[in-house]
Amino acid sequence: MKKESLWTKDFLGISFISFFLFVVFYILLTTLPIYVLEDLNSSESAVGLVTGIFLISAVLCRPFTGKWIDSIGRKKILLFSVFIFFFSSLFYQWADSIPFLIALRFFHGIGFGMATTATGAIVADLIPEKRKGEGLGYYALFMNLAMVIGPFTGLTIVQYANFSWVFTLCLIMTVIALLLSFIVRFPEAAVSSEPHALKKKDFSLSSFFETKAIPIAIVGGILALAYSGVLSFISIYANELGLMEAASFFFVVYAAFTIASRPFTGRWFDIYGENRIVYPAIILFAVGMLLLSQATNTFFFLLAGGLIGLGYGNLSPALQTIAIQNADPAKRGLATSTFFTFFDTGIGLGSYALGVIAVYTGFSSLYFILGGVVLLALIAYYFLHGRKVSWNGNVIQPSKNIT
């Protein structure tokens, strides 16, 4: 049978919207600390607040966004959220004080949280059912590319120009994302198998979280907490090891390994089922973290980045696919927001808590501990999801006693 088309203009459109949003996110994530310290002459604590407030607002708005996506409509929420993102990007040129910048970051985080939740729900509807793993894998690849291109671009501009150029570039990319939001077409809503389920106006847990997605979202949150140690402290750790030159290539190697494996892992997910992807990926992630904790030279430092890319780089889209597949079709927006709420919470908690732990343990011991946390996620995955599906991806039905 002929495969249903994946690479449609609408799939590419929504993927590029996500790409530009994440490029802006990573540019500002890596350059604003320099802006706060040098241009605004503020402290390290202000850097943490400016960084953290963005993620806090994104987490707070995700559950509401998932509910609104499935009730108000995907197109309206997408346009509204990208407009918020656009107006936030517009005002960075005048962010000349910490209070103003913190308020702007909070507002910007709302736009980011809503927009990325919307794009995740929309792309799930655009991908053919039998190519969900492959499609979401390629969609996540655009985010992986943004993770490399964003920091590299931002830090390069800072070296040769002032921050006005950084903020102008972010605004241009946001305008492109906004224009694409008007062009992309997609199915507005799916048919629910639970009649009137979305018409409830109560404030129960199920109103803001897709309960069927919570188990796998918990696994994603644990893994995100472990990954936050890499995202937040890899440059500091590299400096301790005397490998600062290698640090700039860490995420390049990470992305290269992820990109090289993505055409295979997404397709294998659809053919062989989630367990044959998730179990090996978690093990590779754990091995990468343990190797990172023992790295003393450039080769092992970058090899650890490659293994983490093979592991964690493939886990995020795989777990998101599981969350969406477990949900009712009409609740894909809610499932997407549920997954990313746990994911962002793991990143946010990890960025703060692991920094405190590292003061007492050192970064080498911290990464060794995080290798154990990843293995803990392996156990959590087994009990929360893995044991419920066979190795070919089929759901295991409970045995019945024959009398």
Position of tokens 């996110």?
25
The single-letter code of the amino acid at 46 is A
247 and 177 belong to one structural domain: no
| 67/332 Cα distance (integer angstroms) | 10
Task: Of 280, 235, 295, give the one whose Cα is nearest residue 386.
Answer: 280
Q: What is the pLDDT of residues 147-198, one digit of tens each?
A: 778 877 887 888 788 899 999 999 999 999 999 999 988 765 544 444 444 4
92 and 153 belong to one structural domain: yes
| 59/112 Cα distance (integer angstroms) | 10
| 295/250 Cα distance (integer angstroms) | 13
Q: Is the residue at 400 inside a domain?
A: no
Say what percent of the chain tops pLDDT 70: 90
End-to-end CA separation in angstroms for the chain: 43
357: domain CATH number is 1.20.1250.20
Query: Which of the four pLDDT bands, split at 50, 70 and 90, describes residue 403?
Result: very low
Residue 392 has pLDDT above 70, yes or no: no
Q: Is the residue at 195 inside a domain?
A: no
Q: Which pLDDT value is given to residue 350?
A: 81
Residue 18 has pLDDT above 90, yes or no: yes
167 and 36 belong to one structural domain: yes
Neighbouring C-alpha atoms within 13 Å toward the C-beta of 358: 21
Given a contact cutoff of 8 angstroms between Cβ atoms, the answer to whether 65 and 336 are in contact is: no
291 and 325 belong to one structural domain: yes
Q: What is the pLDDT of residues 335-388, one digit of tens each?
A: 888 888 898 888 878 877 887 788 888 889 999 999 999 999 999 999 999 988
Given a contact cutoff of 8 angstroms between Cβ atoms, the answer to whether 142 and 255 are in contact is: no
- Residue 358 lies in domain: 205-395
Residue 206 has pLDDT above 70, yes or no: no
167 and 305 belong to one structural domain: no
Residue 130 has pLDDT above 90, yes or no: no
| 275/378 Cα distance (integer angstroms) | 11
Q: Is the residue at 363 inside a domain?
A: yes
Total number of domains in the chain: 2
Q: What is the pLDDT of residues 262-305, one digit of tens each?
A: 878 888 888 888 999 999 999 999 999 999 999 999 999 999 99
| 288/280 Cα distance (integer angstroms) | 12
Residue 156: Cβ within 10 Å count: 10
Q: Which pLDDT value is given to residue 109?
A: 93
Q: Which of 187, 216, 241 is the last residue of a domain?
A: 187
Q: Is the residue at 336 inside a domain?
A: yes
> Taking the model in full, what pTM does it have?
0.77
* 3-state class (DSSP) for residue 401: coil
Alpha helices in 273-393 (DSSP H): 275-294, 298-326, 332-361, 363-384
To the nearest whole number, what is the mean pLDDT of the chain?
Answer: 85
* 3-state class (DSSP) for residue 72: coil
Q: Is the residue at 199 inside a domain?
A: no
